[in-house]
Structure 1
């Protein structure tokens, strides 16, 4: 009897434990959820934003130093004028109100509010004549692709404005490109665009940029997208590089998937260039921008909060 018991114990020790129990059920791996990002347009609708842009630019040459602070606070909107076959929309951008602030070195700050009725100081007179006027008309697809566009201002008026009326696709298209296919967190996409720079008084050249986008997460139906911009054209001329010192921002965009609208956008940059006016010259530009969607009940009471 003892021998039989010992034999049974030895056999039990040689049999793998997994063969003595029921195999656990293997759960099916669920595919990661993907999201189709598309702008939604409806003819006749108006979409409004509150935007703040700040820039501090410091230039030095030898012992000379100059520092300027600029802030612009704007209420702006785009109107959907028409929907084309295939879903592309014709949009018109207008700045409804602006508060401009500037300070040079330790001088007295200059401020102008377009709603005050006051004549704009010389530093802002280019802006005065464009407030309330349509700046530009663009046609974009539901993926944010720039199809066509044209400025609605004179050449002189264009000098006073930036976003929505520039000479490059990224400036004219105040939306963002979205991926062609559905994406999941971690996926990336990009687009390339060109910008003009001045070589001398009579000559311009074109440089190329790439904008990269990455879907970080989706929470409560809002996609969080990281973005960055980089120069891809080799440029070594300091006098050209100084023109591009504020053109490579990075930031975060929040996009409401159901409504098909940008909810908010933040950007920032901090870049220096050397040698633009001799070996002892340097310029540093630090910028920050914030933009958020405005509901109809908020309109008209935003500029004074900043």
Structure 2
């Protein structure tokens, strides 16, 4: 009788354990409505110091912009289509032996030489993105071609496929095309590794790190340096959107352009959601 009672207690307790385990997991998904408009202020800064043949030079850049997503459709199965644009931007470049150059899209002045493409990209749809609720890009229609645009730029944060517990990780595979030798090219396998660090008051804190999987050389490392970001992202679980993120690079590369060359790259990207979504009466 005692053994039967123990078996019955175990049988009843097992589903409760399963429920408790499920209760400790969190489902991260984007949750938008047709007509939503979301705005993030983005602050990007970088400093790169190059040493070649006994000469050292440093260049600095700073960009503050207003990134906007305009949601134009949400299908019954949850797929989201939005327009990606930049409403305003202020850029400052400081190159060796030159005065700092500044472009501010709100000034009404003509852009300085070298900023023409950036000026033309302000206030116009850059692309139309269609993604799943977890941020998997299903389609991309380029609306405004930007010659200097990075084809591997992360437009969306890929979320996990299902509920996850604190400490769980998921990967976002990516292939990067780099230059090798005299005019050659090579595909480098990499990934963005994300880990759920904590959940507090409905906000998930996610650790994110870019990792290179393929073998590399100093020449390739020099081209990959700016991608080697590491930092944290805060995601609003209830409302299904990124609240903020901070991603840093601190990378040194020796021999990227010859045996005596060296590079030290420092970058920081900080992004913050300015306000809640604003509904509009009709699609743009």
Give the equivalent residue in structure 2 for 1:183.
Answer: 164
Which residue in the other structure is 2:280 paired with? Answer: none
Tell me the distance in 2 between the aligned counterparts of 1:112 and 1:70: 12
SS in 2 for 1:87: coil
* Structure 1 equivalent of residue 175 of structure 2: 194
* Partners of 2:252 and 2:45 in 1: CA distance: 17
Report whether the alignment pairs 1:257 with 2:237. yes
Residues 145 and 250 of structure 1: CA distance in aligned 2, closer, same or farther (over 3 Å): same
User: Which 5+ residue runs of structure 1 have no aligned equivalent?
Assistant: 1-27, 298-306
Gap runs ≥5 in structure 2? 1-15, 278-284
Instruction: Give the structure 2 partner of residue 287 of structure 1.
Output: 267
Name whichever structure is richer in strand by fraction.
2
Rounded to whole Å, the distance in 1 between the matches of 2:143 and 2:49 is: 33
1:53 aligns with 44
The answer (yes or no) to whether the contact 1:53–1:290 under 8 Å persists in 2 is: yes
Q: Is the 8 A contact 1:76 1:93 kept in 2?
A: yes
Paired residue for 2:54? Answer: 63
Aligned equivalents of 2:77, 2:186: Cα separation in 1: 35
Question: How far does residue 263 in structure 1 lie from its aligned partner after superposition?
Answer: 0.3
1:167 touches 1:195 (CA, 8 Å); kept in 2?
A: no
Write out aligned runs for 1:160-175 (5 A): 161=149, 166-168=150-152, 171=153, 173-175=154-156
Aligned residue pair count? 259
Q: 1:111 to 1:61 in 2, by over 3 A?
A: same
Secondary structure of 2:135's match?
coil
CA contact (8 A) 1:94 1:132 kept: yes
2:276 and 2:173 mapped to 1: Cα distance? 34
- State the alpha-carbon separation in 1 of the partners of residues 256 and 159 from structure 2: 36
Q: CA RMSD in A?
A: 2.0
Aligned partners of 1:89 and 1:141 also within 8 Å: yes
Tell me what 2:214 maps to.
Answer: 233
Q: After TM superposition, list the pairs within 5 Å mapping 1:1-306 onto structure 2.
A: 31=21, 33-105=24-96, 107-154=98-145, 157-159=146-148, 161=149, 166-168=150-152, 171=153, 173-199=154-180, 203-236=184-217, 238-295=218-275
Greater RCO between the two (CA within 8 Å, min separation 6)?
2
- TM-score under structure 2 normalisation? 0.85
SS in 2 for 1:239: helix
